């Protein structure tokens, strides 16, 4: 299989501060990574597609200035929630499809629980 | 455009009973289909996938799913539920081109002793 890690696993911050979440592919390269948010007892909502070497592609309704995405290398993408507010509290999950023959699925990170006070 | 519908947001089964989770999809191209499982406060783990090979797909933990093109379905089954099967299950579809996944609403499985 392929492993995707996220850091931190949980974070609590004050309203108005910024929070950075890291997503790493540990044993494969990923030119593309995906960021999702998940509210309690709901499905995953795709926020944006992170592209190595180019700008991220945001889904409709997602504020790109609010959720900054940087795909720094072939194994690392970061999501920064800027000026966080309580309504940004959620479970954020990243995923990546391995660029390998025979792999059509995405592998998911363990998620980051963000709580904004 | 593609979409996924999971019938039933909650399913309750007795330990040892059949688990059946329903998934219907729509896709304008031949799809790739996936079932993922999510335990509380964790990411998603792949159970199984359909990629246009065999229509009956076997996955981990005793789960299997059958692709039926005529019914645009990809239902997930397990013959005998175990307490450890209690989790949230998501069906997802991906078109042949690109990597975006479209998820269903999820089905929460409760296993009664």
Condensed to tens digits (0 to 9), the pLDDT of residues A33-46 reads: 999 999 988 999 99
Among candidate residues A6, A36, A2, the one with its CA nearest the CA of residue A24? A6
Q: Closest to A106 (Cβ–Cβ): which among B51, B99, B105?
A: B99
At A72-110, the pLDDT tens digits run 899 999 999 999 999 999 999 999 988 776 777 889 999
Q: Which three-class secondary structure state does DSSP give residue B62?
A: helix
Chain centroid offset of residue B57 CA: 11
Chain centroid offset of residue A15 CA: 20
Q: What is the pLDDT of residue B28?
A: 74
The angle formed by the CA atoms of residues B36, B37 and B41, to the nearest 5 degrees, is 125
Q: What is the pLDDT of residue B104?
A: 94
Stretches in chain B below the pLDDT threshold 50 = none
Rounded mean pLDDT, A4-26:
97
Q: How confident is the model at residue A57 (pLDDT cuts 50, 70, 90)?
A: very high
A98 vs B: CB within 8 A = no
Q: What is the pLDDT of residue A1?
A: 66
Exposure b/e, B38-66, CB count within 10 A at least 16 = b: beeebbbbbbbbbbeeeeebebeeebbbe
Are A49 and B45 an interchain contact pair (Cβ–Cβ within 8 Å)? Answer: no
């Amino acid at each position: 299989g392929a492993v995707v890690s996220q850091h931190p696993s949980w974070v609590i911050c004050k309203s108005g501060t910024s929070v950075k979440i890291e997503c790493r592919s540990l044993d494969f390269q990923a030119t593309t990574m995906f960021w999702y948010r998940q509210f309690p007892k709901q499905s995953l909502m795709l926020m944006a597609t992170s592209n190595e070497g180019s700008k991220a592609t945001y889904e409709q309704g997602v504020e790109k200035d609010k959720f900054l995405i940087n795909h720094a290398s072939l194994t690392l993408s970061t999501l920064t929630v800027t000026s966080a507010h309580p309504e940004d509290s959620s479970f954020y999950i990243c995923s990546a499809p391995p660029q390998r023959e025979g792999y059509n699925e995405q592998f998911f990170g363990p998620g980051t629980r963000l709580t904004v006070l | 455009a593609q979409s996924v519908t999971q019938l039933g947001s909650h399913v309750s089964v007795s330990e040892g009973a059949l688990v059946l989770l329903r998934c219907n999809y729509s896709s304008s191209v031949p799809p790739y289909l996936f079932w993922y499982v999510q335990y509380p406060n964790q990411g998603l783990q792949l159970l199984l996938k359909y990629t246009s090979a065999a229509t009956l797909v076997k996955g981990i933990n005793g789960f299997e799913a059958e692709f039926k093109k005529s019914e645009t379905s990809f239902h997930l089954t397990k013959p005998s539920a175990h307490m450890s099967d209690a989790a949230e299950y998501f069906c997802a579809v991906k078109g042949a081109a690109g990597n975006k996944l479209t998820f269903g609403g999820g089905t929460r499985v409760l296993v009664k002793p």
